[in-house]
Chain A
Amino acid sequence: MKCRRFGGKGEEDMGALSKLSQWRTLAREAAERTAILAKFLCILHVTNTYICTPTLVYGPSMLPTFNLTGDVLLVENLTVRMGKVRPGDVVLVRSPENPRKTVSKRILGMEGDRVTFMIDPKNSNRCQSVVIPKGHVWIQGDNIYASHDSRNFGPVPYGLIQGKVFFRVWPLNGFGSLRQ
């Protein structure tokens, strides 16, 4: 009398079924985690667009305002989108020479303004004057001896401005809103 059946096809079926259900729970867990990640990224994107976003700037062109080795700044773009950027503001601009690069410079003139600048301050005292065309701004680094800006590539269209810098987070001894 055979009461038990061990081995054989029955156990293989049970193994395959349990593996399938294991995969299904794994897939469901992966989908849940992906959904949470997607929701988090969505919220991050909305915050970056409508509130503010942090950014790291480095380089010598904005000395002494920003350090050579790197500053963490908070950037908002509501001001840019409302068109309320004014001369004296420090902004992030997408470089017109290399669209993958974003630079931080100060706005010295808006459309219609006449801007006078030193062409090559290291070598001569020669100045030049330019009227900024419609829809453009003139950007210049605070460190005119080591800055590649509108003196080199001309006024940039307003549409390239990505955001206005309003607060410094790091280094801590410069923590606080930026003063003119």
Chain B
Amino acid sequence: MGVSNVKQWSRIVKEALDRAFFTAKFLCLLHVSNTYLCTVALAHGPSMLPTLNLSGDLILADRLSVRFGKVGPGDIVLVRSPQNPRKIITKRVVGMGGDRVTFSVDPKDSRRCETVVVPEGHVWIAGDNIYASTDSRNFGAVPYGLLQGKVFWRATSFHITLGLY
């Protein structure tokens, strides 16, 4: 009786280990594809109205474009905030290194504009809703190394839209 109990236990343990390994391999694969291929993010806040909603949009961002330097003006990107490294923000790229960017400093109060040349290795990011966005107008051009991904797809709440930005 004792021997068959041990055999049953070893079989159960082996099956549990197999399943654990399978789950671990699947999670590894998920992690690798999240880091190198494509990542999911939930973007909320008023700074990208009307492109993205206030209450939250599920967006897909691919990581290959950033890695291969295929980001350009007009792209919506995920950026690690230079003011708070734990926060990732969604903004639009307005200028790359070497470009001359003109922006209105405080659109709610005045119409004063400023022109700035973006340093090499940096990008100028701006939210679509300039009245409610903390972006490069506040913290200056951000280094390209802070870009996390380029947004290419957005799911809205009731229907899936294939939006090419």
Contacts and interface: CB of A to CB of B under 8 A. Distances in A.
The B interface, classified by DSSP as helix, strand, loop or mixed, is mixed
B122 A96 contact: yes
B32 interface: yes
Chain A, interface size category, equals 20 to 34
Nearest to B143: A96
A143 B20 CA distance: 49
Nearest to B25: A39
B29 A42 contact: yes
B94 interface: no
A151 interface: no
Contacts of B85: 83, 135, 157-159
A45 B31 contact: yes
B25 A42 contact: yes
A97 B25 CA distance: 38
Interface stretch (B76-84, B98-106, B157-165): B76-84
B121 A96 contact: yes
A39 B122 CA distance: 36
A78 interface: no
Of A38, A98, A135, most buried by chain B (CB within 10 Å of CB) is A135
B15 interface: no
A159 B146 contact: yes
B143 A99 contact: yes
Contact of A159 (B28, B36, B82): B82
Interface residues of B, number: 23
A23 to B, nearest CB: 28
Nearest to A158: B85
B86 A157 contact: no
A59 to B, nearest CB: 18
A42 B84 CA distance: 30
B28 A160 contact: no
A157 B86 CA distance: 11
B31 A160 contact: no
Interface string A115-146: 00000000000000000011110000000000
Contacts of B122: 96
A95 B38 CA distance: 24
B45 to A, nearest CB: 18
Contacts of A95: 121, 145
A25 interface: no
Contacts of B31: 42, 45-46, 49
B18 interface: no
Contacts of A49: 31, 35
List the 3 closest A-B pairs by CB distance, nearest first.
Answer: A94-B145, A159-B80, A96-B143
8 contacts: A41-B32, A42-B31, A43-B28, A46-B31, A46-B32, A96-B143, A99-B144, A159-B82
